[in-house]
Amino acid sequence: MTPFVDGWDMAEVLGEGAYGEVRLLVNRETQENLAVKIIDLRRAVVDNAAESIRKEICIMKMLRDPLFIQFYGCRTEGHLQYLFLEYASGGELFDRIEPDVGMKQSQARTFFQQLIAGVEFLHNKGITHRDLKPENILLDQNDNLKITDFGLSTVFCHRGQERKLSKCCGTPPYVSPEVLSGEEYYAQPADVWSCGVILVAMLAGELPWNRPDEECKEFCDYCTKKSLNLSPWNKISNWPLSLLRRILQRVPGDRFTIQQIKRHRWFTKRSTTVSSHLLSSPSTPVLKRHCSSLTPETTLDTSVKFVDPARIPASQPEPQNRQSLMTELMTLRVVHVSSTTSSEQERANAPSFSQPARAEYWLLPSQISSTPGQSQTLFQRLVKRMTRFRTSCGVKETMLLTKSALEKLGCLVKRATADEVVASVSDRTKRDLVFRITFFPLDGDEVLVDLRRSKGDGLEFKRYFVKISQLLKEIILKVI
């Protein structure tokens, strides 16, 4: 295959955005993994986004904490800019949310505790995220939360001087009422509101409203307390519901602060487990940082139980090698960035649906053993994503039946490559949803079908995945 740079191969698309995509980079010799965000500067110029990209890079450089995706460096070649980032093998948070169900309350609390710790760290740096949602929260191999995507972030406080913000930005279901109002607003309460909506999604498997304004009946009913016996609120038990009622206060001044959230009884409840690497995080000052004498079972005064993660896996660069790896990536010339679109116009108007140049890179370890030669089965080595299934009737028949199922669901289906299709539909919230389906032949007639969201809400995408799986249940061997 054609390498990205000598010794590094570009594998699957991990995510897409307005100006490009995020791809997985694999070191051919060591199997070390990195993510690379590829920005098409021509598209960014059209939207005057160059300043936002520069700001995003500056902010990521400030976030040296395990609760954030780490920034390793950047380079520009021609009209493409490459940002080298930490690879989070655990996938996106929305993948762990079962549509209309949510997740276990204990797991939701763990993620929420980590999210609040991350947002507190941001605010202590004078930074606001402004687009917090499950799609912008990734997980590592130990299911520790990592906040990402700082394209809408900005500095709201510098040298103790706080300023109000005026830009209306974010994703409508998650933004606060004051952001939508078009008036100036304070940054910290707005981020806290988004955290509350994320918690609703984790506990109930659905969003409480399409947007928090007067035109949304669900939001108006919530404000007048008419909806507390209805979904999603009737799915949430009393203690987390009491916290949510204090977070999702319409008036920013009445809203819980992060310090008040951290003192709430549900938030501080025992049995939460997080990785011990958070012990060194400056975002959690209540935790003892010098804790070499602690055992994995030690319980601190925060009532948080820590598990000791394995050593840094081979899927991430070892600290002593990271500098040389990044020097290599940022000095060697980029040889090739693959794309399956047929024209510049197509690339400008649609996400790139590039197939990995070698199919086995879809089967990269989500946690490569540090022991050379240790065997792993095929499906233990999949990059973690919970929207895949195996079928038993060959690629051609699987593709035909999948296309038929998509059309029954009202999707517009287009062939992208010989083994990929792209589906688009207007979801139940009337927003565009676009996802890609790739078909990989396995042994015999078995096929791995991989669905990945390109645009739209993560929970709506999961709902369509469930519907597709139900329509294809006769040929599905296993949902992965």
Alpha-carbon 294 to chain mean position: 32
The contacts of residue 449 (CB under 8 Å, 6+ apart) are 388, 389, 390, 391, 398, 402, 437, 438, 439, 440
| Cβ–Cβ under 8 Å, residues 266 and 238 | no
Angle separating helix axes 238-247 and 105-124, nearest 10 degrees:
30
Residues sharing a CB contact under 8 Å with residue 372, sequence separation 6 or more, in sequence order: none
> 101, 114, 109: which is closest to 265 by C-alpha?
109
Q: Distance between CA 238 and CA 4 in Å, rounded?
A: 52
Structure tokens at 87: 């690879």
- Please tell me what DSSP assigns to residue 98: B
* Residues assigned a catalytic role: 131
**Residues 479 and 449 sit within 8 Å (Cβ to Cβ):** no
Please name which of 380, 267, 377, 384 lies closest in space to residue 12, comparing C-alpha atoms.
Answer: 384
**CA 230 – CA 218 distance, rounded (Å):** 10
